[in-house]
């Protein structure tokens, strides 16, 4: 998949492109449907192209209201490639871009630079200064510039529309199963294993401390997770994770992600890993003694094993 740093950085002509436009944070089931529609329109001779923005427009227009991002930029690109995109145009979102009128955005970006043949958007799509353009004005602009507009209806899962806002809400509540249903996969975070306090190893339950690349959205607690090493080992390893502040040992700790991989004792220091959040087991808690903590850890491991034994890591 080719990636271009904005419409002015296109190093080649896009081939009869079907372009879908949006932020694509999380690349949930609704986003995947947009890419699939673009893919279906171009067949073997054109390109399914994603036009997305960096930074997120709200970070520029109203930074105090900017949402935490579900995926890092790198992970978003990886997921868009997996969804079927042939190319991604990462448009730098600036005040100047936000000031373009709907007509100017279409003429300069979509028509002149990208050579759009099809535009694929959701029914609530808006664009241009003050969000002045919508699917009707886009269709009218297409008639002038020679592209067609396809409107993809919302994707619902169990009666609930997939959206980045809903996914964030579920993650903040620790409802990873419901978030996964909308994402079409487990919520995951990439990061590097770093040295921690060494308490887990001392307790006989070694953990990998993961310094994550992006913002941790999940509520603090204990989770059944899988740990992967992308590019090294494609097989996810069942694990238990603590996302919290270690209240048994510290009074005001920072949020730390610690992962205990089941039936695994190799050294992971320095490894790049991906942690997929499968299910929340319980709240984080302070224990009166190390023995009480260890008893709970063993119970958490047993609970995670039961989830994995029942096929609980599968996302349908």
Rounded to whole angstroms, how far apart are CA atoms 103 and 52? 18
The contacts of residue 299 (CB under 8 Å, 6+ apart) are none
28, 164 in Cβ contact below 8 A? Answer: yes
CA distance linking residue 199 with residue 8, whole number of Å = 52
Tokens of 185: 């996969």
Q: How far is CA 17 from CA 20, 40, 50, 115, in A?
A: 10, 11, 10, 7
Distance CA 102, CA 203 (A): 61
d(CA 15, CA 65): 37
Structure tokens at 111: 């028509």
Which residues, including other chains, have CB under 8 Å from residue 291's CB and lie 6 or more apart? none
Task: Determine which one of 47, 108, 258, 284 is catalytic.
Answer: 258
Buried b (16+ CB within 10 A) or exposed e, 191-211: bbbeebeebbeeeebbbbbbe
Note if 258 is an active site residue: yes
223 three-class SS: strand
The radius of gyration computed from the CA coordinates of the chain, to the nearest angstrom, equals 22
Peptide bond between residue 225 and the one before it cis (omega within 30 degrees of 0): no
Q: Say whether 209 sits in a helix, a strand or coil.
A: strand
Burial of 181 (0-12, 13-18, 19+ CB in 10 A): buried
Cβ contacts of 298 within 8 Å, gap of 6 or more: none
Please list the active-site residues. 258
């Amino acid at each position: 998949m080719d990636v271009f740093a904005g419409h002015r950085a296109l190093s080649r002509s896009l081939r009869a492109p079907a372009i879908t436009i949006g932020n694509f944070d999380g690349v949930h089931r609704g986003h995947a449907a947009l890419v699939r529609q673009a893919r279906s329109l171009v067949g073997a001779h054109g390109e399914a192209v994603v036009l997305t923005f960096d930074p997120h427009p709200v970070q520029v227009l109203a930074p105090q209201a900017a949402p935490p991002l579900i995926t890092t930029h790198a992970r978003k690109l990886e997921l868009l490639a997996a969804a079927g995109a042939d190319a991604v145009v990462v448009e730098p979102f600036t005040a100047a871009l936000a000031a373009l009128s709907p007509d100017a955005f279409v003429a300069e970006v979509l028509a002149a630079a990208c050579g759009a043949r099809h535009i694929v958007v959701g029914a609530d799509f808006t664009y241009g200064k003050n969000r002045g353009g919508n699917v009707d004005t886009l269709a009218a602009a297409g008639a002038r510039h020679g592209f067609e507009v396809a409107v993809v209806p919302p994707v619902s899962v169990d009666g609930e529309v997939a959206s980045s806002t809903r996914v964030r809400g579920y993650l903040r509540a620790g409802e990873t199963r419901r978030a996964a249903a909308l994402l079409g996969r487990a919520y995951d975070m990439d990061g590097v294993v770093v040295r921690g306090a060494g308490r887990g190893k001392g307790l006989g339950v070694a953990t990998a401390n993961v310094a994550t690349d992006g913002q941790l959205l999940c509520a603090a607690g204990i989770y059944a997770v899988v740990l992967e090493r992308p590019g090294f080992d494609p097989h996810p390893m069942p694990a238990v994770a603590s996302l919290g502040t270690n209240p048994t040992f510290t009074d005001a700790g920072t949020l730390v992600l610690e992962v205990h991989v089941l039936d695994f004792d190799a050294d992971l220091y320095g490894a790049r890993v991906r942690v997929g959040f499968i299910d929340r087991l319980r709240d984080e808690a302070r224990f009166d003694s190390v023995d009480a903590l260890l008893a709970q850890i063993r119970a958490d491991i047993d609970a995670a094993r039961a989830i994995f034994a029942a096929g609980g890591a599968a996302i349908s």
